[in-house]
Structure 1
Amino acid sequence: MKLQRVPARVGWQWVRLGLRTFMRQPLAMGGLFFMFILLVSVLALVPLLGAPLALALLPAATLGIMAATQQADRGHFPMPTVLASAFAAGRERARAMLLLGALYALGSLAVIALSSVLAGGSGSMASADGATALDDPVLLRNLAWQAVLYLPLGLLFWHAPALVHWHGVHPIKALFFSLVACWTNKGALTVFMLGWTAIFFAVALLLVLVSSLLGGVAVIQALLFPVAALLSAAFFTSLYYTFRDSFVNDDGTPPA
């Protein structure tokens, strides 16, 4: 398997392919994403260990969505069991995925802790009367540091689950290869992220317009979560294509 360099314009193609595949199988891809969110939400309720466990499962769950996209792209209907694909490829690769998940959880917790230190505290999401407190400078600094520190973590893990699952790459090597691939195709990834950011903003503006025409806050509150979840599902669907085009097998075939 070799790294493949792609032009920046391919980033928009990844967005379009993700949307196309999602629209072909909206029930399957949307349902799998809701299952993923439900699992993470339930785990997060467990005292002490819940949040780290939820974080540790994110790489495996992301791989499950990518495997579902692969099936949908080939014209098949992804079944719910595909979400557990990371643990159905043999004991060795399941252990490797668990190690990758543990590394992701440790990295995420380190980002949260370090951002709090750099910001001078964690801030508060609510004031005493329950109102939002996003004007809290400590909270804003904390969120800004989290965004900055999470970027390298996200790049390390961008392709890592797919490399571990489909090619048996050791988790540490997978992190390195993922970072190198993201840097090599940074133009395409930038276009990809800008494209999705534009789509999210456009849909948000549309929701605001619809809510102002149909009844204000109640309408936007009713629509916000399902619309955001469906858009997020489409985003996760598009991740498969970023991996497929960033690597190539020695015989010239796609890596997955």
Structure 2
Amino acid sequence: MQLHLQEVPARNGRLWIRHGFKVFQRQPLALSSLFGLFLFVGFVAMLLPGIGPLLTFASLPLLSLGFMLATHLVLQKKTPMASVFIAPLKLTPERRRSQLILCLSYAVVVVLIGLLADWVDGGSTRDLQKLISENADNEVIAQAALDPRLFWGVATRLGLVTLLSVPYWHAPALVHWGGQGVAQALFSSTLALWRNKGAFALNGLLWAAVLMGVAGVISLVFGLLGLAQFAPMALMATGLLMSTVFYASLYFSFVDCFMFGAPPGLLDGDA
């Protein structure tokens, strides 16, 4: 299909979230099940020695594209199935090869970022994770958490992963719907995010505000009810739900930036 990159107003970053919630309301069980299935498969993959983490990282581009396809189906009043995650690999051999290259390159770069961050923090992050997993003494964990190298390790991971997400944000969708090659898709995605940085910045800030607000309300309510010990479970369940809505909203940022098949009026005139 012919795609056309366009610039959108910053306010559309809010609309993407709103439409994500609308789509989720139409098919909450189906979309939640898709995200739960992905988490389960990812957990099983992580258990594989050696290649487990690499396979999990490699699947992330297909996760975002799969949810775009799922959202597209919901808008057509169809129920999305697990097949949305493998549908991108069933097109032409050229597009399948491009998708696999995107997946593999993303995984390799994520692993390299992890190695660099480990070097920056001297392994302090891994040491802290090990202490937590082994249920070490709280005082020992607290002491390890005060290591100043942790900050630089976290900053390196978050900063570089954020930068990495820019070229890969729309790349799988551009290959799937636009038939673009790997290099062109990565470039087009980067250009789209740069030209619409206002909308994406607002989108990110609003998601952060939503998550912080929801977490605060849940903690407060459970605390007032004297059920603070159950708050972490509620926070986890809510986090999974918010993650599902986030992935459902990705479709709208793509169709908005590239004018691809947006349902009439869905992205216009919504104040």
TM-score, normalised to structure 1, is 0.92
The CA deviation at 1:177 is: 0.8
The CA deviation at 1:48 is: 0.6
The CA deviation at 1:226 is: 1.4
CA shift in 2, pair 1:62/1:32, >3 Å = same
| Aligned match of 1:55 | 57
Map 1:103-252 onto structure 2 (within 5 A): 103-123=105-125, 124-126=127-129, 127=131, 128-129=136-137, 131=141, 133-248=144-259
Rounded Cα–Cα distance in structure 2 between residues aligned with 1:136 and 1:35: 37
Q: What RMSD in Å do the two structures reach over aligned CA positions?
A: 1.8
Rounded Cα–Cα distance in structure 2 between residues aligned with 1:39 and 1:150: 22
- Matched letter for residue 77 of structure 1: T
| Aligned match of 1:16 | 18
Aligned residues: 252
What secondary structure, in the 3-state scheme, does the structure 2 residue paired with 1:191 have? Answer: helix
Give unmatched runs, 5+ long, in structure 1: none
Rounded Cα–Cα distance in structure 2 between residues aligned with 1:120 and 1:247: 43
CA contact (8 A) 1:115 1:149 kept: no
Rounded Cα–Cα distance in structure 2 between residues aligned with 1:66 and 1:162: 8
Rounded Cα–Cα distance in structure 2 between residues aligned with 1:41 and 1:21: 27
- Matched letter for residue 75 of structure 1: K
The CA deviation at 1:23 is: 1.5
CA contact (8 A) 2:120 2:149 kept: no
CA contact (8 A) 2:124 2:147 kept: no
Moved more, 76-85 or 224-233: 76-85
The CA deviation at 1:122 is: 4.1
- Give percent identity, aligned residues only: 38
| Aligned match of 1:32 | 34
- Matched letter for residue 140 of structure 1: F
Give unmatched runs, 5+ long, in structure 2: 264-271
Cα deviation code 1:67-93 (max 9, x no counterpart): 001111222221222232222223332
Rounded Cα–Cα distance in structure 1 between residues aligned with 2:226 and 2:88: 45
Moved more, 50-59 or 84-93: 84-93
- Matched letter for residue 247 of structure 2: F
Cα deviation code 1:114-141 (max 9, x no counterpart): 2222334343325442646433322222
The CA deviation at 1:152 is: 1.4
Rounded Cα–Cα distance in structure 2 between residues aligned with 1:41 and 1:159: 25
Rounded Cα–Cα distance in structure 1 between residues aligned with 2:259 and 2:215: 37
Rounded Cα–Cα distance in structure 1 between residues aligned with 2:67 and 2:202: 22
The CA deviation at 1:148 is: 1.2
Cα deviation code 1:136-184 (max 9, x no counterpart): 3222221111111112101011001101111111112111111111000
| Aligned match of 2:77 | 75
TM-score, normalised to structure 2, is 0.87
CA contact (8 A) 1:134 1:140 kept: no
Rounded Cα–Cα distance in structure 2 between residues aligned with 1:206 and 1:68: 30
Rounded Cα–Cα distance in structure 1 between residues aligned with 2:176 and 2:225: 47
Asked if 1:2 corresponds to 2:4, the answer is yes
CA contact (8 A) 1:63 1:85 kept: no
What secondary structure, in the 3-state scheme, does the structure 2 residue paired with 1:2 have? Answer: coil
Rounded Cα–Cα distance in structure 2 between residues aligned with 1:159 and 1:135: 38
Rounded Cα–Cα distance in structure 2 between residues aligned with 1:122 and 1:91: 44
CA contact (8 A) 1:65 1:236 kept: yes
Asked if 1:84 corresponds to 2:86, the answer is yes
